[in-house]
Structure 1
Amino acid sequence: MIRKTLNASRLQDEVSRRIHRIHEIVEDGVKIRVPQPQKQEPDKTGCNWTMKHFGNAIGYERVVAEVLDAVRAEYNLSEDTKDIHSLFADPEGS
């Protein structure tokens, strides 16, 4: 499977969104702090990022790991470090 790419903040948001929709976490009213993804050399699966040190995740390590594994299988961390302002620039430069 070819991975899609996301920047660090979008990856962080995706992991957070998936974690916070898990029934057990919603039911318990827990807010888990999701760290920024850290770039790494591609592993044996081809994933080029990881996340460590989730906050307030004690007792939820298994479900957090499942979400992380699923997102890592779908996405790679973008190499692109464009300035946020370039998103709103006129493509013609006028």
Structure 2
Amino acid sequence: MLRKTRTASQLQDEVSRRIHRAPEVVEDGVKIRVPRPQSQEPDASGCNWTMKHFGNAIGFERVVNDALKAVQKEYDLSESDDTKDLNSLFGDFPKS
């Protein structure tokens, strides 16, 4: 299946939406923090991004994993400026 391309913000929003509509998450009223996607070399399935370190997710690991895997099957991370990781927030430092 050909994946659609989305920005990091769009992927983050989609994973969050799927997690927070899961019945057990709705029932418990928990708010799970969804991290920004990080680009990676395509894995065995061809996915070029991943997410790590979800916040407040203890007890909801299955829901988080299911949502993440479903979105990874459908979408690739675009190569736009929106994909810069947080460590490069201020750009590259000048070489001395």
TM bracket, shorter-chain basis? 0.7 to 0.9
Report the Cα offset of residue 63 of structure 1.
Answer: 1.0
Q: Which residue of 2 aligns with 1:26?
A: 26
Report the Cα offset of residue 14 of structure 1.
Answer: 0.3
**Secondary structure of the residue that 1:66 maps to in structure 2?**
helix
Report the Cα offset of residue 80 of structure 1.
Answer: 2.3
Q: Which residue of 2 aligns with 1:69?
A: 69
Q: Which residue of 1 aligns with 2:93?
A: none
For 1:4 and 1:80, how far apart are their aligned partners in 2?
14
**Secondary structure of the residue that 1:76 maps to in structure 2?**
strand
Structure possessing the higher radius of gyration over alpha carbons: 1
2:8 pairs with 1:8: yes
Structure 2 residue ranges without an equivalent (≥5): 83-96
Alpha-carbon RMSD across the aligned residues, in angstroms, is 1.0
Structure 1 residue ranges without an equivalent (≥5): 83-94
Q: Give runs of ≥4 in structure 1 deviating > 4 Å.
A: none
For 1:52 and 1:79, how far apart are their aligned partners in 2?
19
For 1:79 and 1:45, how far apart are their aligned partners in 2?
19
**Secondary structure of the residue that 2:81 maps to in structure 1?**
coil
For 1:53 and 1:64, how far apart are their aligned partners in 2?
11
TM-score (norm 1): 0.85
Give the % identical residues: 73
* Number of residue pairs the alignment of both structures matches: 82
Structure 1 letter corresponding to 2:72: R
2:45 pairs with 1:17: no
